[in-house]
Structure 1
C-alpha cells in the first residue's frame, strides 16, 4: 500500500485497484468546509486514476465516523457556503463514476450520515449509530431531504428527519441505509473482500451500470438537492427558531422555540 495524498484532514492510500480515503478531525470528526473540500478533491484524484476501481470512504478517527457538520458554520454568516459545499461534496460522491464503499463505526450523524447515504455500499458495525438530529437544533438536513425518500421511502424519511432520533445499525440496515452490518472483528476482512470483488469487475461495465442506475434519478435528485438547499437558505434561515436552536446548542442550553 502506498500513500498518494496527505493533506490537513484527508489521506488517500491505494492498494492495487482500491483507494481508501480517510478523513480525520478528532475527536468527533466534525465536518468543516476545509475537510469537505479535501474529500471532494480526493475523489477527483481517484477518478483521474484509471487503475482505481473502488473508492472506500472511512473515518481516520477511531470509534466514530462523523458527528456531523460544524454547528458554527450553520450560523447566518457561514451557512450559505456550508450548504453549497456539502451539496457539492454529496453530488461528487453520487456522480463518482466507479464504485464507492463507506465504512461506518460509531456515530454517523447529520452531515456524516448524508455523506454515507451518497455512497453505493455502506458497511457498518453493530455499534454504529445513524441519525439526522438537525430538527432538534431548529434546522433540517437538505441533503437528507433529497436522498432519503429514494433510499428508505416517505414513512422512514419522516421518522428520521422529524424525530431526529438515533437509529441503531441493524434498524438502519432494515431501512435500506446500510448494505450490511458486520461484527467489529470481521469488518476489515469484509471491507477487503467486497473491495476486491468490486475491483475485479470491468471498469467500463461498472461505469455504464452506475450511469444507467443514476440517469433515472439524476434530474429529480439534482433538482431536489437544489430545492431543499434554497428552501433552507431563503426560508428556514429567515426564521427566529433556526437561529435560536443553533445558539442554544452552542450555549449548551435548551432552546426556547417561538414557532416563527
Structure 2
C-alpha cells in the first residue's frame, strides 16, 4: 500500500481530477488526510485544463470522521486550523467538486463532503454529525449544513447526532443525486453536464453561484473556533466525552 492516504490521477484527457480517500475501511480524516487533500487541491486549482474534481473513496465507507485522538485539548487547535483551511479551500474552489458517497460519511468526513459542490450518494449511505455524542460540536458542519438544506433538518443532524440515509439526504436537498453506484453517477454527470463547457466560463459560473458563501463561512468559522477552543474545551463534559471514547468506557456527564 502507498504511504499516501489519497490516490490522485486525471481522467477525461486531463479535464477531471480524481481524488480518492485511501485508508479503508474508515478513511479517517486525520492530519495526514487533510494535508494530502489540501495539497492536491492547491496544486490543481489554477490549472485551466481542469473542469471538475471527483472525490470518492476506497473501501465500503466514505469516512468514519475525523481522528478523535486529534480532538483532545492539547491537539484540537492544530486539527481545527488545518481542517477549516481545507474546508475554506473547497468552498472557494474554482471548479465543481463532485463527491461520491457510499457507506458511512460521518463527522469530519461529512464536513469535507459538504464543502464540495454536488454530492452523489448511495441510497443506503449514512450521513451524519455524531460529535454531540462525544460532548462536542462540529464547527464546519454548523456553518455549512444550514447553507445546504432546510435549517430544521440541519439542526436535527447537529443536535441529535443521528445520521440520515442517502435517500433522505436527496429528499432534503443535501445530495444532488441518489444512485446505487455514486461514482458512475458522478462520472455520467461530468460527461453530460460539464465536459463541453468553456473552462473559463465554468469558473465564472462557479464563482457566481458561491459569491458570498466563502466570506460567510470564514467569518462564522473564526467565531466557532473560538467558541470550541476557549469555551467548549474548558468544560468537563467535552473532555470527558472524548476521553471516554478513547478509553472505550461509558461516559460520565457532569450532573446538571
Determine the structure 1 residue equivalent to 2:10.
14
Q: Deviations over 1:199-254 (max 9, x none)?
A: 32111111111211222323222111111111111111111100000011111222
TM-score (norm 1): 0.92
Matched, 1:247 2:243: yes
SS of the residue corresponding to residue 120 of structure 2 reads strand
Between stretches 234-243 and 8-17, larger displacement belongs to 8-17
Determine the structure 2 residue equivalent to 1:131.
128
**8 Å CA contact retained: 1:110, 1:132:** yes
CA distance in 2, matches of 1:218, 1:89: 12
Determine the structure 2 residue equivalent to 1:3.
none
**8 Å CA contact retained: 2:62, 2:104:** yes
Residues 143, 258 of structure 1: CA spacing in aligned structure 2 closer, same or farther, 3 A cutoff?
same
Between stretches 235-244 and 245-254, larger displacement belongs to 245-254
Determine the structure 2 residue equivalent to 1:236.
232
Q: Deviations over 1:30-79 (max 9, x none)?
A: 111111011011111221322111111111x2111000000000001110
SS of the residue corresponding to residue 67 of structure 1 reads coil
- Number of residue pairs matched? 252
Matched, 1:149 2:149: no
RMSD (Å) for aligned C-alpha atoms = 1.5
- Structure 2: gaps of 5 or more residues: none
Residues 157, 192 of structure 1: CA spacing in aligned structure 2 closer, same or farther, 3 A cutoff?
closer
Matched, 1:97 2:94: yes
Determine the structure 1 residue equivalent to 2:35.
37
Between stretches 211-220 and 244-253, larger displacement belongs to 211-220
Structure 1 residue 257: Cα displacement:
0.7
CA distance in 2, matches of 1:255, 1:22: 35
Deviating beyond 4 angstroms after TM superposition, the runs of 4 or more aligned structure 1 residues are none
Residues 239, 193 of structure 1: CA spacing in aligned structure 2 closer, same or farther, 3 A cutoff?
same
- Structure 1: gaps of 5 or more residues: 1-5
CA distance in 2, matches of 1:132, 1:104: 15
Structure 1 residue 140: Cα displacement:
0.3
Q: Deviations over 1:134-178 (max 9, x none)?
A: 000000000011111111132112200000002111111112211
TM-score (norm 2): 0.94
2:51 to 43, 46, 53: 53
